[in-house]
Structure 1
Amino acid sequence: MTLRIVLAATPSFREMVFAASSVERLGALGQVVVLDDPGDAEALKAALPGADVLITSWGAAPLTSEVLDHADRLRLIAHSASSVKHFVTDEVFRRGLRITQAGQAMAQPVAEVSLAFTLSLLHRIQRFDRQMHAGAWRDDAPPQHSLPSSRIGVVGASRTGVEYIRMVVALGASVVVYDPYLTDDRAAQLGVRRVDLDELLRTSRVVALHAPTLPETHQMIGARELALMPDGSSLVNTARSWLIDSTALLAELQSGRLDAALDVFDEEPLPADSPYRGLPNVLLTPHQAAATVECYLEMGDITATEIERFAAGEPLEYELTQAALARMG
């Protein structure tokens, strides 16, 4: 099958994500038409007639009925990044178009950062680092703990959540999970125990958030939930700030009762005068958990592989249904 493929991505994104080998594989499938501005709906409409596959990227133009009216042969949308919610509309599913995405590439690096955060919080590395930079030596800090002696609570058995679970279980931690979609059989496979959110918060030394961005998860960790966490426990968030009542979290952190490691914030970039910046019990990174060289190149590799599968009539590994999309962030 010879395909006409429209690749809508900025030059910098293409350079970062599509290695020469991925570009060669796409070219072997047929004609590749490149659009430098993924958000330019007019350019997209002009390129879509005759296209079989559309490769989208960050900043993709919404696929409205007006845009899709120009897609006379389009059958597959291959998103070369993670979430598609900002541009995929119901019209895509009404027209029977198939969607795949490369978000699996982000699961491993984000889980690695969550693990690094977890270990830092257990050993109070962020507190000691602040003290040492300030000229102090072994000033007061809460007790340090090892991972195998700790219960880790995971909120959300998402792609990233599962990768994180595998890591902490392999290192000997006792793990409990809150996820309404996690079955007992799947929990047993992962070596974890399903619990409700309150029990998880009350009994975990570290709580790691990996839940999706859905209406029902908005500020699911609020003042009441944070108050359930034991003194000296810690919170890890590499998912979305959507999940937390940031005002309540800040109050708990300013009290010194909890520690936290955060990669995501309500306002990004984080303002220079943010109170988070001055807290010795908070580890901060600038929404970069997935940003490894290898992650970006794997996104391009996954995209090329999915289109090859489509061309060969094989099942797609990362196809999204409308029902699955409704449960994803």
Structure 2
Amino acid sequence: MTGSPDRRTVVAVPPELRARLFPDGVADARLLDDPADPDALAAALPGTEVLVTSWGMPVLDGALLDLAPELRLVAHIGASVKFFVTGEVFARGVRVTQAGQAMARPVAEVALAFTLALLHRIHRFDHALRDGAEWSVAEQAPARHEILGCRIGVVGASRTGRAYIDLVRALGAEVMVSDPYFAGEPGVPAVPLDELLATSRIVALHAPVLPETRHLLGARELALMPDGAGLVNTARSWLVDETALLAELRSGRIDAAIDVFDAEPLPADHGFRALPNALITPHQAAGTVEARRRQGAIVLDEISRHLRGLPLRHEVTPEMLERMG
């Protein structure tokens, strides 16, 4: 990070993550090791022009902004800034940018890995062998399928959704999308959600967190999925009624691969942990070495562009904030 920031820049990122984002180190900028500490942030804000933010930030309300009259740019190392950026930020002429584009590829790759695992029932075989099942029992699984010619339904044509679509189409999948803001394109038709659920072998969720997407998939919607289908969720647990999904999985009728949960860390006694038809990971889909470095590079580039008076490449507008997950 040498070169761009100076003492007018505050980097509110935990040390371990900071080292992954900025492997060359952080020169001159003031460092906050705990972005969730409002007192430390308040003490650092006077004189700050650029604030680099991480997950867990306090809400940037009027009281905090009063301490930072010189603040001109908030550069977030993640995707959504909705949890801490308020309208007051924009009202005071502060620009906002984010590095979410850097995470689209790894999350899409994990969604692809989940898709292949569900199609080939890899998680079921792994569970059976680790649990000590006899070989003849362990080798039993529902019908397995290839991705070539597989009908995959994508809920949400977001950045990550589009990256996932490119990957699965490259492997020969037939893709359709349900998204109120997606009109379809050659080879990727737009369809109603119910039709997508009822006709897809794999359903992959890539929609944002919005009031209208709360429990987008509940008991009724999950029941539309064909027997043997698989659900992939690397987006947000917000999108699925977790209780309804647990009940559906316990029936053994469908499989699921899940990286996001209502309660994180996932409780040790959670029902998902014991199910052979559930593949679960601890909300780590975006955490590759390459993605973290891209996030840092985007933030550095955006700071440099701001200081040179150039347009930002990943700017967040008030209108975008309303549709941000």
TM class by shorter-chain length? over 0.9
Which runs of at least 4 in structure 1 moved beyond 6 Å after TM superposition?
none
How much has 1:287 moved relative to structure 2? Answer: 1.0
- The corresponding residue for 2:128 is 131
- Contact kept? 2:38, 2:58, Cα under 8 Å: yes
- The corresponding residue for 2:178 is 178
* SS state at 2:203 partner: strand
Where do 5+ consecutive residues of structure 1 fail to align?
none
Most deviating of 193-202 and 69-78: 69-78
* 1:103 aligned onto 2:103: no
Task: String of CA shifts for 1:193-245, please: whole Å, max 9, x gaps.
Answer: 11110110011000000111111100010111011111111100111111111
How much has 1:2 moved relative to structure 2? Answer: 8.7
* SS state at 2:29 partner: strand
Most deviating of 55-64 and 257-266: 55-64
Where do 5+ consecutive residues of structure 2 fail to align?
none
- The corresponding residue for 1:202 is 198
Q: Superposition pairs for residues 237-256 of structure 1, below 5 Å? A: 237-256=233-252
- The corresponding residue for 2:12 is 8
- The AA in structure 1 aligned to 2:307 is A
Q: Superposition pairs for residues 213-232 of structure 1, below 5 Å? A: 213-232=209-228
2:60 to 60, 63, 66: 63
* SS state at 1:193 partner: coil
Most deviating of 155-164 and 264-273: 264-273
Using the alignment, how far apart are the partners of 1:294 and 1:2 within structure 2? 22
- The AA in structure 1 aligned to 2:124 is R
* 1:142 aligned onto 2:142: yes
* SS state at 2:135 partner: coil
- The corresponding residue for 1:162 is 162
- The corresponding residue for 2:208 is 212
Using the alignment, how far apart are the partners of 1:70 and 1:270 within structure 2? 37
How much has 1:55 moved relative to structure 2? Answer: 0.9
How much has 1:85 moved relative to structure 2? Answer: 1.8
Matched positions, count: 318
* SS state at 1:157 partner: coil
* SS state at 1:147 partner: coil
2:50 to 43, 49, 53: 53
Q: Superposition pairs for residues 295-310 of structure 1, below 5 Å? A: 295-310=291-306
Identity of paired residues, percent?
60
Aligned-pair Cα RMSD in Å = 1.7
Task: String of CA shifts for 1:52-83, please: whole Å, max 9, x gaps.
Answer: 21111122121110110122221110011222
Taking structure 2 as the reference length, the TM-score comes to 0.93
How much has 1:89 moved relative to structure 2? Answer: 1.4
